[in-house]
Structures are given as C-alpha cells and as structure tokens.
Amino acid sequence: MTPEEIKERLLAGLTEDQKVAVQSPKRRLLIVAGAGAGKTEVMARRIVWWITMNDVPKERTVALTFTEKAAGEMKFRIREKLKTIADPGDDVSLGGMYVGTIHGYCLAKLREYWPDIYHNYDILDEAARSALIFREFRGVLRLDKLQEALNTSQNETVKRFMTGYDQLNEHNLLDVALPDTVPPYRLGDDERAWCAEARLRTDVGDDAVSRAFAESAARYYAYLRCRRFLDFSTSQTEFLRNMARDPDPPHRLSEEPLHVVVDEAQDLNPVQQDIVERLIGSIGSLTVVGDHRQSIYGFRGAKVQIIADLWATFRRADDGETIDLRENFRSTPRIIGIANEWARTISPLGSMITPDMRHGKEDRIDIDPSHVASVRFTTREEEARWIADAIRALVPSDRFGAEHDKRNGKTRGLSLSDIGILVRSATDVRTYMNALENRGIPVVVRAGPDLFSQPEVLFFLGLLAITANIAEFYGSLHNPRSLPARIQNVLGCPPRPDEVIRASADMLRKAGLPLSHEAERRVLRAAEAVRDKITSGSAGAGDFRDEGLQRYLRDSGKPRRVFPQTIYHWLLTEAEIDRWDTGFPRGETALFHLGALSGLVTGLETPGWTSATDYKWQIVGLGQFGSEEGRSPEQPLLVPPDAVTLSTIHGVKGLEFAAVFLADVTAGRFPSSLAKRKAELPMSGDILRQIDADGLSDNDNHDGERRLMYVALTRAERFLFVSRSGKRTSQFIKDLEPIIRHNGGTVTDNPTELLRRIRHAPLEYQRDVQLNTSFSDLRYYLACAHDFYLRKVLGFSPTIDQAFGYGRGLHNLMRAIHGNPRYWAELATDQKRLISELEKLVDQGLFYLRYTTGEPAENMRQKGIRLAAEYVRTFRSELERTVFEPEKAFETVLDPGDDSGGIMVSGAIDVVRHEDPPRVTLIDFKSGDPDSDKYRLDEDEMRLQLGIYALGTKKELEYEPDLGLVRYLDVDGTAERRQLEVSLDAKSLKTAEDTVLGIARAIKNRDFRRGPAKPAADGKHRCRTCDFFGFCGMKVGVGDR
C-alpha cells in the first residue's frame, strides 16, 4: 500500500481538527479533547501514523491510560487501524508496544529491567493495602504511636497515614533508607527486624505527629518490600528511583527516542509528570490528551495546573502545538449546549482558552424538550419513586425500550444497562435502591463506596463480625460514611452484629429474596460455631449444609490459622444463597454485591497468613475500609448484568449512558459541603508547601465540584434529568436551571410534564463488546459456564490456598535456568554446586511464599530446588545447545467476523525454544503429576492452551511454532515421560481459534446457565471440586449436594 493510500485510510471519516491531530509533525502535542470527541480514535490513529508514516518502531511506542478498561479499548483501536492499512501478510500486531496504566508500566519495567529484584512483586490494591495496614497497625508499622500523637480513632489514623504516604509518593518525595541486606523471604521475626531498621530521609517535620508518621512510613515501605508488594503510588516512585541510581541501565532510554501518548492528562499528578518527562527526555515525542473541564481527582493529588502549563509551554515552543477537538459525537445538541454554558461557570485556568464543544453526530437529535430537564420534589422518597417510574417508561418490558440511534444509523430499544443514576456521594442512595426494587428494576452499584449500604452485604458483614467475636461496630454517627451511620440509615437499628443480621434479613425478604427464617437461624448458628472454634478451640456440632464446615468444627484444638474467604463461603452456603442464583434480577444484583464483598475478603488474605488473633482485627478493618471506601477494583466485567447502574459521578468517568438521572442535587450534597475542608496530613513544616496541601481541597468557587458536574452532564447521550428534593436549593441548581431553560430543556416541579413523545423499539443489548481475557479465564468457561459467571461476571473469589506461590516459585527457577541455559548445563554434573546455586536464587527471594511459614514453607522451597536440579540434569544436553526465551508475553486478537467485537487473549509462554527461527517450540511447565486424575482430565485444555499460545506467537511474535511441550516437573523418569507433546499444525490452530471464538459468542450472549462440560474422573459431575459448590444455584450442583 502506498503512503498516499495509507494516509487516506488513516484520515478517513475524521474532522479537520482530528486530521491535524493525527498528522501533526510536532514533537510535543497537546490535544484538548472535549467529552465525546473521539479522543481514543485519534490517539490510536496517531500511533499508527507514527508507525507507518514516520517509521517509529512499535517497541518504542508507549500509550499511558488512566484505567485498564481504557487501555483495552485503545489496544483494539490500534489493531483495527493497523488492519485497515495492511497488505496481505503484513504484521498487524502491537509488537513490543506498551498500552496500559502508568503504574502498570512502572511495574512492568521494574520486572523487565531488574527481574532478580522485582519479578516476584505484585501490585497491592486498596482493599489489600488496608488489610495489611490494619493487620500490622500495632505491630510492624507502629501506627499506635501515630494514633496516640494524633489523639484520634484507629480508622482516622489509617486514613491520614495513607493520605500522607501517598502524597509523598505522588510528589516524588519519598526517600527511605533500608538495611543493606536483601529483604528477608522468611515471614515473622526476620522481616519485623528488617523493617525496624528502615528510616525516612524525607523531612516531614519535627513535632510528635510528624516523627511518628516518619517512623511508620519508613516501616510501611520496608514491609512492602519484604512482602514483595508495591502499592499504586509506590510503584511509580520505585521506578524513578531505580532509573536514577542505575549507572548502566539496560533500557537505554537516552539512546533511542520513545514516542509517548498520555491520556487523561488533566488528572496527572507531579510524579506521573516526572515519569513522562523521564521517558521522552530531550529527543522523544509526546502527545498529551486531556480536558481540564473534566479534572476531578484534585483531592487525590492530581494537579489540573499541569495541563494548563503544558498548554502554555507547547503553544510557545517551536516543536510544540495545541489542538482542540470540539465535536461531541456522544450527546444531543441540547445536552451539549447545557454543558458548554456550565463550563463557563468554572474559573479560567491561567491563560488557557476553552472553545465550546460542537454537535458532531448528525442523527443524534433532540426529540422533545421534556427529555432534558431539571425537576424538583418535596422528599427524596418522592424523587426516587419518580426515577423508578421514569425508568419503567423508558424500558417498559424485557422486549421493548425507548428508541435510540446506533452507530450504523439504525435504531434499537434501550435496555436497563443503558441507564445510569448518578449521585455526588453514595452515602444516601439506599432510598433510590428501595424505589427501584419496589418497581422490580434490578440495579447494581458499580462504583463509589456504597457497597456497605446494601442489605445483603450488611447481612453477611454481621455474620462475619460474629465469627470474629465482634460485639459492636464502632464509628461516628456524624460521619455518614461510617459503618454505624450506614447501618442506621439503611436498617434503622443499633450497630450490633446480631441486630444487623435480623434487620437486614427482614429487608431482604421484603425485597423478594428467598431467605427463610430457618436459613437465617442456621447461618447464625454457623457463625457462632466458627467464633467458638477460633476463640476456644471447641464448638458444638451442628446440622450444617457444608461438609467442610462440619469437618472444621470436628477437628480438635484451636486453629492457628484462619481462612477468611473459606469462612465467608461457609456462611453463603448455610444461608442457602444458591436459591438466589436462579437468574431473577434481584437475585443477580444481590449476588453481584456479594461477589464484590468476596473481592474485599480476598483483600484480607492477600497480604499473607491470617492468624487466629489477626482475624478479629482483619474483620474490623474490613468493616471500616468497606464502609468508607468499599468498591470493586477497576476490572471491567466481561459481560454487564442487565441492570441499571447506580454510581457516584467519579465512578463513571469515561463511561456514557443513553439516559442519565443525576439525582440528589441538593444543598450541602452537591456541591459537597466537605469539598473545601482542608486535608489533615500528619506532617509539618516546609513539606506541606512542597506537596501543596491546600490544593487537595476545593476553592471558593467550587471549581472542583463544578468540573464534577460537567462530567455528570456529559455522560448523557439523549436523556438527562437533574433532580433534587427538599426546601433548600443548591447553588448549582440556581446556576443550572437558567442554562437548561436557555437551551430549550424543561424546568418543572411537575414530573408529569416529562418524558413525552417516547417511541419504543425492540430492546437490544449492545453486542459489539470487546472482550479482554486470558486462557485462564476461558478455561473456567470451558470447564463450566456457571463457574465463569460466578467467578468472572459476579466477582466471587476462591480461597487463597496456603501453597499459593509454590508454582510461581518453581516457574521463577525455570525462568532463571532458561535465561542462562549453558551456565546451568555446566552445573548438571556437580550436584553440590548445582544445589548451592539454586539456593542462592531462593535467598534472593525468587521462591517467595507469602501464605506459608515454618516447616511447610521450607519443605516447599526444598522441593522446588530438588525439582529444578532434576530438570537441569534431565535436559542438560538441550540446555547446552539451545537458545531459549523465557516468559514471553503476548496479546492477540481474534476476530469473529460478524461486527460483534473482537476478543483479545493475553498470556505468557513459559519458554520459547528456538529450533531454526522462525521455527520454534513452545514449552509450558506444570508442577503436578501427569498421572493424577486432575492432569488426565485436563489434557484437552492443555492442548487448547498451547494452541492459543501458538496463535499469539504466530500473530504477534512472527514465529512459526510447530510443536508444543507440556513438561511435568514433579515426576520421576526420562525426558519422554516428563512431557506431553502437542501438535501445533494448521488444523490444531484452527480448532483452538474456533473454540475461543465460540466461547466469546456464548459469553456475549450471557449463556451461563450451564453446568460442567466434563465429568470427573469417576464419571460423576465435577461440582464437588468447584470453588463455589456450596452456593451455586445450578440444578446439577444442587442435586450433587
């Protein structure tokens, strides 16, 4: 294809401004992209322009996004554009390009550049971080000293500590002196002693609070290093620290320019700006995309001034340029006009000029003034009932919905998942949920810290509290996000677990969930029995459904270790939650919330071993963190439930809905009366100026809150309703209602005037869903569609096994061996030296076991060393003469060819063995015995796994794999007995591709009401070995019980 043809295709269908942005020759470019401006498309085309027109190597291209979801969409777009300009046989892969979040990039590069140190490190999410901090509050972290200095509650101490620590990181000011030795890999006394030697070099002040904070901050950073974790903020400074102190960096960033795209630049913080500047240096290219009107994370440390400074700098620079993308392809003209006028109420940002958005989608027109409105009600209950009625007017049945235009110019009927109810704060949303439930409308809380306002969550939290011997939930009733305040608001009962259980059970029954009084009594008895077992070592026998629970109670002695997720699963089983798992809407939304709670319980287990004494404080921490911040992590569902989304505005950043109900815009709530409250940081002196502590709060014009309102308004495609209740009127309503009138919308106290001229069409779900998945995820569906539904759609997590980490440790040894194969082959004949060198790898932390300690941990490490040594001896000749690539990551897209969206499959091949390149052999290691029932059962899945890996190798790495080997490490015998050979011929690869595409179609069609696809080795169903056997609602599983 000629350059002119490529240019024509890359610029096809773009506006003039978009074309300029794609082609710009400037080294530094700022694209100010308004809401719905097609920024992802422009970024993708600019990247492809670099690659095809400017000959930029793919591996020198980096695209940094705000969320993993945005990264997934970007990857699909880039591939799509590469495909449109490719000749037959051309490479349309991403190659070595990085597309993902900034913290993800930092962790990836830490692992790549310094693998011996960071290969074992994982990101600690917010729930797990909270669990780690509460676990070691009085232990390693010495936060009790900070609490004493602050003279406040434990929960408030943790909040201030985390804020202070993150702000040091987000301004690249964290500097900790660690001991000279490698962080210990044995849990317990060794790591406690090592952490105690850490010292904070950063000057955070000299008063009692500052000194206590300094000690805890240093210990926390050291503890992360011991446990092989990095949290989000630390991952970024850790990358910069290593870049700065490495005298001979392997990455050679300064020798070849990087070409970097940064999305959501309005939410950058100073350390992220430092990272970007380090990547581009003086010769790299930078394209920054953002919209200062949508900067909504100032309270976390984002600095909107960064994008303003870039705007001013790039406009002045000879190698710089700024471009405005003004067309809005999302919303109707009326909504765009309202958003434009609202943007003018935000204070100017320096000299930055903000042109209005323009209507960009010709067929998305306004139908009636009543479809965009501000409406007032007397009470919040009345407001909530009207919203429920309005949703039923938009989606009257499961067959028809309000007419809406599609991308192809045709129309479809809206589904419930096209509707979003947005609130400024999630503390008072129960009223809206009750109204929806009364109308039979399913709703899920996707974002915002409101998970602990759901009665099903409070029910099981109360039960978990009983198991932990907690008599009462503590917190201030003046804080609406405290657990006692939520309990009072939702249930109207005292914050005692027994009262919470009774009140929430009654509410669940009233909502139509099948929770019998007998199940309620049984699950309470189960919780009390677990409590007695943990505290005294003995518990009375009970007639319980779960066999595992019965065995646990029968075992003699007091347990040393507690498995929180297992206890949670027992409670789900005893409450007969399987009766909720029958596909009815309220049951599905309840299970979605309970799946989110399961994710938070996993956070308790993630930091490591939970002792019997730790367990109580872990559940205390779960209640406090969950009530204040409990939300699902950023991991988009593969298939959304057909339910209305109820979310905070922050939670839907980057999303859009055909119909938006912006609720509860009342005085004190929006703008929030708390937004201007000064952040209380545990520091003093000049450090507060360096981190701009005042910038964490809103200004007198409420500009942060005004930007949040702008984001809410611009989520709407066609229908937009702003509602409030009560006698007091918010300043935002006073400012907004004249704007709505001026743009032809409706302002009324009479909701019957709204939603006129609604045309209905056959309901249609949005099927053009792009799936991002892995072989592991697909394997769950292949084994059992309903397992996949519970695990990946609803979010239930299995218990973290105490042997977790063993397989990873063994794979780490394999990576080291194949990374330097000739060296290890030379050691094969010297058993003593071979073992000694493997032990050195273990001492470096390559066989780190986070969930096992003492003799079992030592036994696992010694077994790993023995198996690795046996492997070296067995495959000595191959190691002597062959070139290997260990742990080769890939992503590949499979296209079903029906415009329903592709499926991106990612993975990492354990070892690529070079035969006669491009001909290679793919090797996958298994740490089990091939003669066991499990491995005989899963042989077909192993063939599929290697088939998928071969597809990725051919498409992305341009190799020609013709053979796959599954190598079993835990087996004696010859090399032939140690491995399974898998043909990777064209027929095998076609079978693998068809299988994956078939699974993708089934997932998009929500085909989850099927049980296991294969029997167990004894011919019976596999249900008894399922992680979720006790509460699965499939008939086959229930029957097996």
**Pair 500, 627: CB distance under 8 Å:** no
Task: Give residue 877's identity as a one-letter amino acid code.
Answer: S
* pLDDT at 635 > cutoff 60: no
Backbone torsion region of residue 795, taken as left when φ is above 0, otherwise alpha when ψ lies between -120 and 50, otherwise beta: left
251 shares its domain with 237: no
Query: What span, in angstroms and rounded, lies between the C-alpha atoms of 717 and 365?
Result: 10
489 shares its domain with 502: yes
Confidence at residue 379, expressed as pLDDT on a 0 to 100 scale = 95
* pLDDT at 316 > cutoff 80: yes
* pLDDT at 824 > cutoff 50: yes
Q: Residue 867 falls within a domain, yes or no?
A: yes
**Pair 271, 98: CB distance under 8 Å:** no
In the predicted model, what is the mean pLDDT of residues 256-269? 93
For residue 623, count CB atoms less than 10 angstroms from its CB and return exposed for 0-12, middle for 13-18, buried for 19 or more.
buried
Quote the tokens at residue 166.
């993150």
Distances (CA, A) of 282 to 279, 582, 800, 1020: 9, 60, 47, 65
pLDDT digits (tens, 9 = 90+) for 389-421: 999 999 999 899 999 988 777 888 999 989 999
Q: Residue 335 falls within a domain, yes or no?
A: no
Of 224, 243, 262, which residue sits at a domain end?
A: 243
Q: Residue 975 falls within a domain, yes or no?
A: yes
Hey, is 1033 helix, strand or coil? coil
Query: What span, in angstroms and rounded, lies between the C-alpha atoms of 380 and 726?
Result: 7
* pLDDT at 934 > cutoff 80: no
Query: What span, in angstroms and rounded, lies between the C-alpha atoms of 987 and 990?
Result: 5
Q: Check whether the bond before 671 is cis (ω within 30° of 0).
A: yes
Neighbours of 821 (CB within 10 A): 22
Q: Residue 758 falls within a domain, yes or no?
A: yes
Which range among 42-56, 206-220, 943-957 shows the weakest confidence by mean pLDDT?
A: 943-957
Comparison of pLDDT for 46 and 653, the residue scoring more = 46
Quote the tokens at residue 28.
């530094």
Query: What span, in angstroms and rounded, lies between the C-alpha atoms of 6 and 54?
Result: 12
Quote the tokens at residue 185.
């890999």
Q: Residue 572 falls within a domain, yes or no?
A: yes
Confidence at residue 766, expressed as pLDDT on a 0 to 100 scale = 61
Distances (CA, A) of 727 to 619, 666, 673, 951: 40, 9, 17, 63
* pLDDT at 218 > cutoff 80: yes
Quote the tokens at residue 306.
């960064």
Query: What span, in angstroms and rounded, lies between the C-alpha atoms of 969 and 975?
Result: 10
996 shares its domain with 934: yes
Which range among 26-35, 118-127, 253-262, 739-748 shows the weakest confidence by mean pLDDT?
A: 253-262
Confidence at residue 1010, expressed as pLDDT on a 0 to 100 scale = 87
The pTM of the whole model exceeds 0.85: yes
In the predicted model, what is the mean pLDDT of residues 121-128? 87
**Exposure on the CB side of residue 737, measured as CA atoms within 13 A:** 14
pLDDT digits (tens, 9 = 90+) for 913-930: 998 888 999 999 987 644
934 shares its domain with 833: yes
Confidence at residue 935, expressed as pLDDT on a 0 to 100 scale = 41
Q: Residue 1006 falls within a domain, yes or no?
A: yes
Hey, is 116 helix, strand or coil? helix
Residue numbers belonging to the annotated binding site for ATP? 33-40
Hey, is 351 helix, strand or coil? coil
Confidence at residue 127, expressed as pLDDT on a 0 to 100 scale = 83
Comparison of pLDDT for 784 and 958, the residue scoring more = 784
**Exposure on the CB side of residue 337, measured as CA atoms within 13 A:** 15
* pLDDT at 613 > cutoff 80: yes
Which range among 28-32, 86-90, 486-490 shows the weakest confidence by mean pLDDT?
A: 86-90
At 188, the pLDDT band (50, 70, 90 cuts) reads: confident
In the predicted model, what is the mean pLDDT of residues 796-817? 87
Q: How many residues does the chain have?
A: 1041
Query: What span, in angstroms and rounded, lies between the C-alpha atoms of 222 and 216?
Result: 10
Which range among 187-201, 499-513, 887-901 shows the weakest confidence by mean pLDDT?
A: 887-901
Cα dihedral angle (463, 464, 468, 469), rounded to 10 degrees? -20
Quote the tokens at residue 516.
């019998």
State the Rg of the chain over Cα. Answer: 29
Q: Which residues contact 311 (CB under 8 A, 6 or more apart)?
A: 30, 32, 322, 350, 351, 352
Number of domains in the chain: 5
**Pair 782, 999: CB distance under 8 Å:** yes
Residue numbers belonging to the annotated binding site? 33-40
Of 191, 226, 243, which residue sits at a domain end?
A: 243
68 shares its domain with 199: no
**Exposure on the CB side of residue 1016, measured as CA atoms within 13 A:** 9
* pLDDT at 697 > cutoff 50: yes
Confidence at residue 559, expressed as pLDDT on a 0 to 100 scale = 87
Q: What is the mean pLDDT of the chain?
A: 88
Q: Taking CA 527 as the corner, what is the angle to CA 521 and CA 530, rounded to the nearest 5 degrees? A: 140
Confidence at residue 392, expressed as pLDDT on a 0 to 100 scale = 95
Of 325, 360, 378, which residue sits at a domain end?
A: 325
pLDDT digits (tens, 9 = 90+) for 854-871: 888 899 999 999 999 999
**In 3D, which of 365, 415, 394, 331 has the Cα closest to residue 767?**
415
183 shares its domain with 269: no
Comparison of pLDDT for 24 and 937, the residue scoring more = 24
253 shares its domain with 236: no
Which range among 24-28, 950-954, 1019-1023 shows the weakest confidence by mean pLDDT?
A: 1019-1023
Specify the DSSP class assigned to residue 763. Answer: B
Q: Residue 1040 falls within a domain, yes or no?
A: no
**Pair 673, 86: CB distance under 8 Å:** no
The torsion angles phi and psi of 373, rounded to 5 degrees, stand at -155, 160
Long-range contacts of 451-454 (CB under 8 A, 24+ apart): 451/593, 451/596, 451/597, 451/600, 451/626, 451/630, 451/631, 451/632, 452/483, 452/486, 452/623, 452/626, 452/627, 452/630, 453/426, 453/427, 453/429, 453/486, 453/489, 453/490, 454/490, 454/590, 454/593
Confidence at residue 634, expressed as pLDDT on a 0 to 100 scale = 43
811 shares its domain with 832: yes
Comparison of pLDDT for 779 and 539, the residue scoring more = 779
61 shares its domain with 33: yes
Confidence at residue 99, expressed as pLDDT on a 0 to 100 scale = 94
**Exposure on the CB side of residue 110, measured as CA atoms within 13 A:** 25
Distances (CA, A) of 225 to 188, 196, 198, 971: 14, 13, 11, 34
Neighbours of 421 (CB within 10 A): 27
* pLDDT at 82 > cutoff 60: yes
**Pair 61, 50: CB distance under 8 Å:** yes
Confidence at residue 588, expressed as pLDDT on a 0 to 100 scale = 84
At 899, the pLDDT band (50, 70, 90 cuts) reads: low
653 shares its domain with 753: yes
pLDDT digits (tens, 9 = 90+) for 410-459: 888 999 989 999 999 876 677 898 899 889 888 877 655 578 888 999 99
* pLDDT at 575 > cutoff 50: yes
**In 3D, which of 244, 195, 235 has the Cα closest to residue 215?**
195
Q: Residue 421 falls within a domain, yes or no?
A: yes
Confidence at residue 1019, expressed as pLDDT on a 0 to 100 scale = 66
Query: What span, in angstroms and rounded, lies between the C-alpha atoms of 600 and 134?
Result: 14
CATH number for position 939: 3.90.320.10
Comparison of pLDDT for 25 and 679, the residue scoring more = 25
The whole-angstrom distance between residue 1017's C-alpha and the CA centroid of its chain comes to: 36
581 shares its domain with 513: yes
Confidence at residue 494, expressed as pLDDT on a 0 to 100 scale = 94
CATH number for position 22: 3.40.50.300
At 790, the pLDDT band (50, 70, 90 cuts) reads: very high
105 shares its domain with 137: no
Hey, is 411 helix, strand or coil? strand
In the predicted model, what is the mean pLDDT of residues 643-670? 91
Task: Give residue 943's identity as a one-letter amino acid code.
Answer: R
Confidence at residue 865, expressed as pLDDT on a 0 to 100 scale = 94
Specify the DSSP class assigned to residue 793. Answer: I
* pLDDT at 492 > cutoff 80: yes
Neighbours of 756 (CB within 10 A): 12
Task: Give residue 555's identity as a one-letter amino acid code.
Answer: D
By residue range, what is the domain housing residue 320?
A: 3-109+246-325
> What is the biggest distance separating any 2 CA atoms in the chain, rounded to whole angstroms?
88
Confidence at residue 131, expressed as pLDDT on a 0 to 100 scale = 86
**In 3D, which of 179, 166, 171, 251 has the Cα closest to residue 213?**
166
Query: What span, in angstroms and rounded, lies between the C-alpha atoms of 924 and 938?
Result: 14
Specify the DSSP class assigned to residue 302. Answer: -
Distances (CA, A) of 432 to 5, 444, 588, 833: 54, 12, 18, 68
At 887, the pLDDT band (50, 70, 90 cuts) reads: confident
